[in-house]
Amino acid sequence: MSQSVLTSAAGVAAQAARRRTFAVISHPDAGKSTMTEALALHARVIGQAGAVHGKGDRKGVVSDWMAMEQQRGISVTSAALQFSYGDTVINLLDTPGHADFSEDTYRVLTAVDSAVMLLDAAKGLEPQTLKLFEVCRQRSIPVITFINKWDRPGHDALALMDEIEQRIGLKPTPLTWPVGIAGHFHGVIDRRTGVFTRMQRSPGGADLAIEEEMGDAEAAERYGAEWVTANEELELLEMTGADHDQGTFLAATSTPVLFGAAVANLGVRQLLNILVELAPPATARPTVSGTDQPVESGFSGFVFKIQANMNKAHRDQVAFMRICSGRFERGMVVTHAGTGRPFTTKYAQQVFGQGRDTIDEAYPGDVVGLVNATALGIGDTLYADKPVQYPPLPSFPPEHFAVCRTSDTGAYKRFRRGIEQLDGEGVVQVLRSELRGDGLPVLAAVGPMQFEVASFRLEAEFGVKVHLDRLPYEIAAVTDAEGQELLRGESQVEVMTRVRDGALLAVFAHRWRMRTVAGRHPGLRLDAPLDAGL
């Protein structure tokens, strides 16, 4: 396209229509990072999948760039990957599944247009899966469900469909249906075309699966009773009206379902094609004023994640921005909506896991990494031309608190710099306690594994070994200066200052203690400290 077309409203709208921006979400160990790799493999942007299972020979997947993730084989932070598939631009966000990192996952969900939910065929709906489904439904995020690990023993396919409908309230509408029970997977039938595709794992499982379309007669002869059973189940689905409806899918009241095995690259091609065909492109997004910002209007975007030290060779900070409208050009001067100050986007990059390439332009739906953007915080809006501001991002109230200390007095400056970095990224919240002073910050977290990440990164990235002393608190509420004075004489209560914004947080040993204290002081201000986004 010519430059004039690309910069026109119609050109921007056309570019937005090419984008598919989605998150891969699930309960821990359901295969998110493996699926991320498999999708990239099918788009031919990597040569081999990096997930090689088995102790001692597991390679790090491209989306797991942090040393802690590679050592443990788990994802503890979200990661962005952008690549092309045919004429479509894919913006894929891999998320951590562990509940301790829910805040990171939920922030990512504000930056996507749809989600791929993985279900473990053997485990079905797990607690974190239920929560994520509910969040997607409340935020009207369309969800495509992928029943993963069908090459291993698991639940009955129809039973899984019933579980989704009964426990979540979303109507499952399978687009593919497996031939063979879980653990004896032969391939899938496309419900819309009736075509059966036989699937076979490639040698070693790191390359594309071997696929072959097979006629009904040949499939019936080869698979016998399993073929008959699959077709009987298809008839039941047709009788119950479990057919895909694009309107209910986009309204987040139904979920298309596919079957496969990400680690063996089975069914992944079908998922990628369905994402291109059915997942919504970038569209107008709501603003704090109550209006929707059209994609073809002037440039705007918001920061949903900040990450530092992704690459030891760079040692810089990257702010991940979701572009909501207009054409982004590297070097353009935009306005920070919160401060009204100008911001120059000189260093802009396309991110692929740990790898990064400089980009010159991007469009609605794209995720851009702004390098060394230390003036930006999570949730900040940037715009050009007419002012616009997007809603603040959801956060979770902390339930775990610990004093962070280092015995290495020579590392104090690095210690403070590391603590400030972790606070800015939202890895933990940092609180200042009058009882302990600036030298002993208090870390507040949703889950205890966040403390492990904080300790690991302080040592790995800043060379500072720390010790965490857990505090006996498990609930926090916002108070004010008057409340701070009222609470000074109370036991099992402490008021601390949140460093990020100066808010006063009253922390209590437990919920019962908070209620008792509130009953004794009727005028005491105790507000929910954060919006949990639920």
Does residue 186 have a known ligand-binding role? no
Torsion of CA 428, 430, 435, 440, to 10 degrees: 80
What is the pairing mode between strands 355-358 and 348-352?
Answer: antiparallel
Does residue 229 have a known ligand-binding role? no
Tokens 């996507």 label which residue? 112
**Helix-strand-coil split of the chain, %, nearest 5:** 30, 30, 45
Residue 301's beta-bridge partner residues? 323, 382
**Three-state DSSP class for residue 404:** strand
CA distance 69 to 75: 5
Pair of tokens at residue 77: 């932070």
Does residue 87 have a known ligand-binding role? no
Using CB atoms within 10 Å of the CB of residue 474, give its burial: 0 to 12 exposed, 13 to 18 middle, 19+ buried: middle
Does residue 94 have a known ligand-binding role? yes
Residues 103 and 11: beta-carbon distance below 8 Å = no
Does residue 426 have a known ligand-binding role? no
CA distance 475 to 489: 18
Residues 299 and 325: beta-carbon distance below 8 Å = yes
Pair of tokens at residue 179: 């031939």
Q: What angle do CA 333, 337, 338 make, to 5 degrees?
A: 125
CA nearest 231: which of 243, 249, 213, 219?
219
The secondary structure of residue 322, as a DSSP letter, is E
Cα distances (angstroms) measured from residue 150 to each of 129, 193, 243, 267? 18, 22, 22, 10
CA distance 66 to 53: 18
Binding residues for GTP: 94-98
Binding residues: 94-98
